[in-house]
Amino acid sequence: MATIHQNMLSELFENLVTQFIQENLENIMKAEIKSFMEGEDQAENNSRNGYYKRSLHTKFGYIDDLQVPRDRNGEFQTQMFQPYQRRDGWLEEAVIQMYKSGMGTRDVARFIESMFGSHYSPTTVSNITATVLEDIQAWQSRPLRKRYSVIYLDGLYVKLKRSTVSGEAIYFAMGIDEDGHRQILGFYVGGQESANGWRDVLKDLYKRGAQEVLLGVFDGLPGLDDAFREIYPKADVQHCVVHKVRSTFPKIRVQDKTDFIEDLKTIYNAIDHDLAIAAFDTVKAKWGKKYPKEIQSWEDQLPTLLTFYKYPALIKEAIYTSNPIERMNKEFRKRLKPMNSLTNIDAAEKVVYLEILEYNERFGNRVVRGFGDAKVKKELTLMFEERYPSNETEEPA
């Protein structure tokens, strides 16, 4: 009995809220048409012509007899909603959010029909989410800041349906600007990850204004160093130390793994560059004969694995690995996984773009640890001024 009474009160409350919304909408529209009819060009040639009834879904309830004022010439249009709009926009926003969370268009359509009794076809859902593509185009061409202390590069594979389902790369570029703020600068979907693909990404970043960069952080993909230096010849390259350790780990025998990895840590945890080189020499003397290829690989790559020593120690954690962008990719991968495979590139772009907006909103105004320190900022500013004199302009190759 109590439950029935509670349901009746809940329904009564909902009806009161809906009635309140309806009355306010109708009062606003009365004021709108009054202002419209008082216009200079309306006074003699037009007049009010009663009302017509229409329905409207709102997030506060369903109104089935909303009275909309009209004029004799049919020129008045309320600003409350579009002529053929049957919802006030909240459901369309909900569709986008459901799609973003990993629901397919068919799942969204079924959910809406079960909740509201109105049919939403998968095509309609797709059309609603397609409005996001216009925003994507504007976002991808937006101007970037001129200076970035760090640019991270990393790729993520997603399954796309073309004639068959296959994995294709999403290229991500993330930057830390002069103020220490970290944001995703761009993303590019399609094809297999390659140095040429990254070259196009970097050219786009440069074209959009990111022309002065101190450091690029990424893994050891063949050819990526050259592509980066082609666009940013004055920037340094930092290969991700964590990637290098991971790629070495499987090649070490089980009984040696713990000692070998601990010895590698003495290299990139040394106090300065000279001590890091000395630590490597010690590791080489100890393991060189047993693992010659692995030690040689480290020696060949040592200059770009130890680049971070050229920069203030307070920002080491942010620059000696590509962990910041890898953590972001891990989040994106979780969101994309429930979708199994995406129908096309547009579908992939929509989901990724919505995730990026959320990421940038969360982190875009935070100062990355170390970059807010006054001495660090001064040192980085001096590095910019030394590499990029203010009277010098340069075009990428």
Cβ proximity of 255 and 235 under 8 Å: no
According to the model, what pLDDT value does residue 187 have?
92
Torsion of CA 138, 151, 371, 382, to 10 degrees: -110
How does 136-146 read in b/e, with b if 16+ C-beta sit within 10 Å? beebeeeebbe
Question: What gap in Å lies between CA 11 and CA 5, rounded to an integer?
Answer: 10
Cβ proximity of 200 and 219 under 8 Å: no
Q: Helix or strand or coil: residue 57?
A: strand
According to the model, what pLDDT value does residue 3 have?
60
Q: Digits of tens for pLDDT over the chain (397 positions)?
A: 556 655 565 566 556 666 766 776 787 778 778 888 877 565 567 888 888 887 776 655 667 788 888 888 878 877 666 655 544 555 556 666 665 555 666 666 666 666 555 556 666 666 666 666 777 888 999 999 999 999 999 988 877 766 666 778 889 999 999 999 999 999 988 778 888 999 999 999 999 999 999 999 999 888 999 999 999 999 999 999 999 999 999 999 999 999 999 999 999 999 999 999 999 999 999 999 999 999 999 999 999 999 999 999 999 999 999 999 988 888 887 777 655 555 566 777 877 887 888 888 888 889 999 999 999 999 999 999 999 998 555 566 5
According to the model, what pLDDT value does residue 20 have?
67
User: Is the sign of the CA dihedral 338, 344, 350, 353 positive or negative?
Assistant: positive
> Nearest-CA neighbor of 280 among 314, 311, 244, 254?
244
| Tokens of residue 273, six digits | 């560059």
> Nearest-CA neighbor of 275 among 263, 266, 287?
266
According to the model, what pLDDT value does residue 240 have?
95
CA 378-380-382 angle, 5° bins: 70
Cβ proximity of 177 and 148 under 8 Å: yes
Q: For the chain, report the end-to-end CA distance as a whole number of angstroms.
A: 79
User: pTM to 2 decimals?
Assistant: 0.70
According to the model, what pLDDT value does residue 92 have?
59
Which amino acid would we find at residue 357? Answer: L
- Count other Cβ atoms within 10 Å, centred on residue 54: 16
According to the model, what pLDDT value does residue 173 have?
96
